[in-house]
A and B are shown apart, each in its own frame.
Chain A
Amino acid sequence: MLSRVAERLYWMARYVERAENVARMTKAFQALSLDMPKSVDLSWKGLVAVTGMDHVFDEHYQRADDRNCVKFLLADTYNPGSLFSSLRAARENVRTTRDLVPTEAWEQVNELYLFARDHLDAGINKRGRHDFLSEIVRRCQSLTGLLAGSMSHDAAYDFVRLGRNLERADMATRQIDVGAIRLLERGDEPRPYEGLLWTSVLRSQSGFQMYRQHVKRRINGPDVVRYLLQDVPFPRSVAHALSQVEGALDDLPHNEIPLRVAFQARRHVLDANVDKLIASGGLHAFMDRLQLEIGELHVAIAECWFPEAELA
């Protein structure tokens, strides 16, 4: 398998996953904003912060209101992490690997991109937003299923898994870091709507239902963090994504270095004592380190298998 193709498949999967994450997150926040009384100051800007693109936002917008933030997250092409930018990049990567992915997958990515392009306005407007985002999530999921069900589970598919799970791990750490820590910093005593806010964090990762089934206690901060970080069976947790990365790395040639980095990152995740980290205020520093490790994992993968020229 060509190194260049491996790289494009990897990015295709990352971009699709990114688009899906942005859609889920926006949808969850939208639901939350409708539940909250007007008196509670709900900052859409926080959502932008989760994606790590707040500085780009500030360059283009004066007001961080609902419409501007959502437009930035979904549609703006100068935001490389926007839903539309991600889908466009995903499509471009599939277009250049069409010889390798199943034809239906290309058609699906193509249709997904066209759908997003033609319905962006509806997605930005409050009224059409829910339907638009649900459709995006549904189509991303169906693409994932299609690849799993119709593409040989060989090296090409391993790179798809790598991209998807690395992006997922990255997003989950951001959710915890930005979304959750903001809530935790509010102090110890329970406050109104706290349950709702944590529910929203879970929903951003589509984890609410699974959490209820597996964690029998009332929704509380440390449990949610622990769930999103360490619950291996939950497919959108950091620990799960990293174990998937390891699984994909396992079958690839000359995998020693990336495998070592992945293993180390997963060990750090599973060994972390969440209660202690929260109590000592060290959770943010921990998440920061974890994000760096995920970054290192990407570099290790790129250096191992992707074309050298494109690393420069």
Chain B
Amino acid sequence: MSIDWNGYDPAGFYDELIASPGVPRGAARRLTDYLATLDDEDIRARKQAAELAIIEMGISFTVYSEGENIDRAWPFDIIPRVIPRREWEAVEAGLVQRLTALNLFIDDIYNEQKIVRDKVIPEYVFAKSKNFRQQCRGFSPPLGVWAHICGSDLVRDRDGTIYVLEDNLRVPSGVSYMLENRQVTKRVFPELFESSSILPVDEYPAQLFDMLASISPRPQDYPQVAVLTPGIFNSAYFEHSFLAQRMGAQLVEGADLVVCDDDCVYMRTIDGLERVDVIYRRIDDDFLDPEAFRADSMLGVPGLMRAWRNGKVGIANAPGSGVADDKVIYTFVPAMIKYYLDQDPLIPNVPTWLCTGDKEREHVIAHLEELVVKPANESGGYGMLVGPHSTKKQRAEFARLIRDDPRNYIAQPTLALSVAPTLCEDGLEPRHLDLRPFVLQGVRTDVTAGGLTRVAMRKGSLVVNSSQGGGSKDTWIVDEED
């Protein structure tokens, strides 16, 4: 028995591969036709091959459980998600537009604050933002770019519209899994890569290196670039070492670095101290420099902020970039695009309610059952309420939380996230997913071809985070067949 596309029903959701039961979307036709030729045995064998490859390649992420760190194999679904190239090019333009505006905003907010003076964004919005850093006031990094690496989460609603759900400007992760997913898929479905034109994704590490090199304080061909990791216990450690390896950069921990009297950053090597030009930090602001931020940080490097402000080292993303990561600031991004670029946003925001106005707040609280409520400054899907899946007790709890700290919560309608066929126990079933493309901004701006597709493996679930039972898929940007 092979896959019967007539028997696959996305139950009214937008499906990424098929237009209606039995009718594939143009860009996905080769894939669905090919899958239909495989029998159950074949599919199972390929699924096993993928699982084995993931274990052997050591593609893992770390979860905390009962005080222990467990290195888990990366959850992966072998059926790729397909996006037509023409559609993707529009998304790409929208992402470039968005990050450009966000960087102009961050630079403005730490300097003249024109956007506040012109009353486009009220002052309270960032004055109370956890990620607004006084230590960054009056400074502008090279190229005026603060957030060099951005991972924006995109979702598709029932009618096919793509929205930006949130922007991750602090230390977005997942790009290594995007690259590894492709490696695994190439092993599992080599035939498809021969017959379809799927855009390659492996340029990313080279682009990342070029971007990092472009913010080096010493104009050299090969600046010393280091990836600063919190260490092996961090859930994204795999990615840190992966990127360092692919870029030929050093993977360093805080203790490997020292800032000397000349305000330059050095790493401790077997030859003695060696200067570091650019740091790709994967540590949150709070832990970056115990002299400037949390004094109890064991992960950071004392004096790093001093070195950065004196132009002796490039840091990506720049400290303080997280201010634009805030979900309340998010609601103002379309206004920023208009204000700084005088353009209309190419990708819309998800309609969002703030809770600071009395009327809006009471509306949110009255409609908790239909809404998704998120704290303004969390990531990883933590601390949120998914209204339709919530209990009465949870809703009462959130009503209290919102009233206590209205600035810290936003609410959005529960989107009917799109689905894609996913290999489950009993064959292909629709599962909800999102997409995290990665955008690099330096001298030029690059967008990954596709990104990391995260899929909620549990039936009906909307939570795609790998720490909470999410899986992933390879993402194909494909030329549509004529």
Contacts and interface: CB of A to CB of B under 8 A. Distances in A.
Interface of A: 1-6, 92, 95-100, 103, 106-107, 110-111, 114, 155, 252-254, 305, 307, 309
Contacts of B244: 99
B90 interface: no
B57 interface: yes
Given A99-B251, A107-B58, A114-B55, A1 B269 contact: yes
Contacts of B245: 98-100, 103
A109 to B, nearest CB: 9
B253 interface: yes
A2 B58 contact: no
B268 A3 contact: yes
Contact of A3 (B58, B249, B270): B270
Given A2-B250, A110-B56, A114-B55, A98 B270 contact: no
B255 interface: yes
A106 B58 contact: yes
A96 B71 CA distance: 13
A254 B56 CA distance: 39
A252 to B, nearest CB: 7
Give the one of A2, A97, A99 with max B CB within 10 A: A99
B295 interface: no
B57 A309 contact: no
Nearest to A158: B270
Contacts of A2: 250, 252, 256, 267-270
A106 to B, nearest CB: 6
Contacts of A96: 232, 241
Contacts of B56: 107, 110-111
Contacts of A106: 58
Interface in B213-252: 227, 232, 241-242, 244-245, 249-252
B230 to A, nearest CB: 12
Given A98-B241, A98-B242, A305 B253 contact: no
Nearest to A4: B256
Contacts of B251: 5, 99-100
Interface string B254-279: 01100000000001111110000000
Nearest to B246: A99
Interface in B185-205: none
A305 B270 contact: yes
A251 B445 CA distance: 43
Nearest to A96: B232
Give the one of A1, A92, A97, A114 with max B CB within 10 A: A1
Interface residues of B, number: 24
Nearest to B227: A99
Interface of B: 55-58, 71, 227, 232, 241-242, 244-245, 249-253, 255-256, 267-272
Give the one of A92, A98, A106, A110 with max B CB within 10 A: A98
A252 B255 contact: no
A92 B241 CA distance: 13
Contacts of A253: 270-272
The 10 closest A-B pairs by CB, nearest first: A99-B244, A99-B245, A98-B241, A99-B251, A305-B270, A110-B58, A99-B241, A253-B271, A3-B268, A6-B270
B298 to A, nearest CB: 11
B67 to A, nearest CB: 17
Nearest to B226: A2
Task: Provide the main secondary structure of the chain B interface.
Answer: mixed
B270 A1 contact: yes
A307 B253 CA distance: 12
B56 to A, nearest CB: 6
A183 B57 CA distance: 46
A71 to B, nearest CB: 24
A95 B256 contact: no
Contacts of B270: 1-3, 6, 155, 252-253, 305
Contacts of A114: 55
Give the one of A2, A6, A110 with max B CB within 10 A: A2
Contacts of A5: 251
B268 A95 contact: no
A4 B255 contact: yes
Nearest to A309: B255
B204 to A, nearest CB: 16
Contacts of A111: 56
A3 B241 contact: no
Nearest to A307: B268
B253 A4 contact: yes
Nearest to A6: B270
B206 to A, nearest CB: 16
A5 B255 CA distance: 12
Contacts of B250: 2, 99
A307 B255 contact: yes
A155 B272 CA distance: 14
Contacts of A97: 241
Nearest to A156: B270
Contacts of B58: 95, 98, 106-107, 110
A307 B273 CA distance: 12
15 contacts: A3-B256, A4-B268, A96-B232, A97-B241, A98-B241, A98-B242, A99-B242, A99-B249, A100-B251, A106-B58, A110-B55, A110-B58, A111-B56, A252-B270, A254-B272
Nearest to A7: B270
Contacts of B57: 103, 107
Give the one of B58, B232, B255 with max A CB within 10 A: B58
A99 B205 CA distance: 13
B228 to A, nearest CB: 12
A102 to B, nearest CB: 9
Contacts of A252: 270
A137 B345 CA distance: 62
Contacts of B252: 2
A3 B232 contact: no
Nearest to A159: B270
Given A2-B267, A99-B245, 17 more contacts: A3-B256, A3-B269, A3-B270, A4-B255, A4-B268, A97-B241, A98-B241, A98-B242, A98-B245, A99-B249, A107-B56, A107-B58, A110-B58, A253-B270, A305-B270, A307-B256, A309-B255
